[in-house]
Amino acid sequence: MSLAKACFLPHLAQLLRHKKPVKITLFGSSSTEGVGASSVAASYAGIFEQKLRAVVPDKLEVINRGIGGQGAVQMHARLAQVLADKADLVIWQGGVNDPLTGVSLADFEQITREDLRALRQNGADVALMDLQWCRLLDECPKAPAFQAAVHALGKALNMPVFPRFALMKKWSETYGLGREELSPDGIHMGDTGYRLLGEAVAAWVLDLARE
């Protein structure tokens, strides 16, 4: 699968080019928090930071704003905290808990659109991450609409979307991993899934930031 650029991360690209300090906020729910990982270092955020430090060794700050179980409403309630980070890049991960908890698609889209715009207006590059491939979402009839909504928001706002769902299926085929091996409890990724995710997101971000 190609991860060709849908658009660039111009602010981050400029900082990397001039070897300036970089601050990245990871904003999301349990995938960002690292629920299911054996340690912080083994989580998506931990692997992502480790890979980015090879490029920005002494000038990188990664802030983890992931809280498990949260959807658009709860993330909106703490948006001010994320805005206060003054990050150069915000990677927004959401849309997972909303279909599982009965949030309407229209409410999810409206809240998320406003929050993404606020993040950009605050000076950050913004990238999105779509839903994961797992049993609970496979069994949720509303989940595909939220998956499509994440991509539609990215397209409408000209923000790149990391294709986690499609990549998880590709990892399954490439490495012979079953769905439950990537998400052992039916929704949260384990160490193997988080390692693949962190490595892929780091490579994706660096690719998007190349000028």
DSSP string, 28-55: ESHHHHTTT-SSSTTSHHHHHHHHHTTT
- Model's pTM, two decimal places? 0.95
Q: What architecture is domain 10-208?
A: 3-Layer(aba) Sandwich (3.40)
Q: How far apart are CA 116 and CA 111, in angstroms?
A: 9
Q: How far apart are CA 202 and CA 98, in angstroms?
A: 26
CA atoms within 13 A on the CB side of 158: 6
Local structure of 121: helix, strand or coil: helix
pLDDT single digits (tens) 35-63: 999 999 999 999 999 999 998 888 999 99
User: Across all residues in the chain, what is the average pLDDT?
Assistant: 95
According to DSSP, the residues that pair with 126 across neighbouring strands are 90
Q: How far apart are CA 13 and CA 25, in angstroms?
A: 16
Residue 4: the pLDDT is 45
What ranges do the domains of the chain cover? Answer: 10-208
Q: How far apart are CA 49 and CA 114, in angstroms?
A: 28
Q: What is the mean pLDDT of residues 140-147?
A: 98
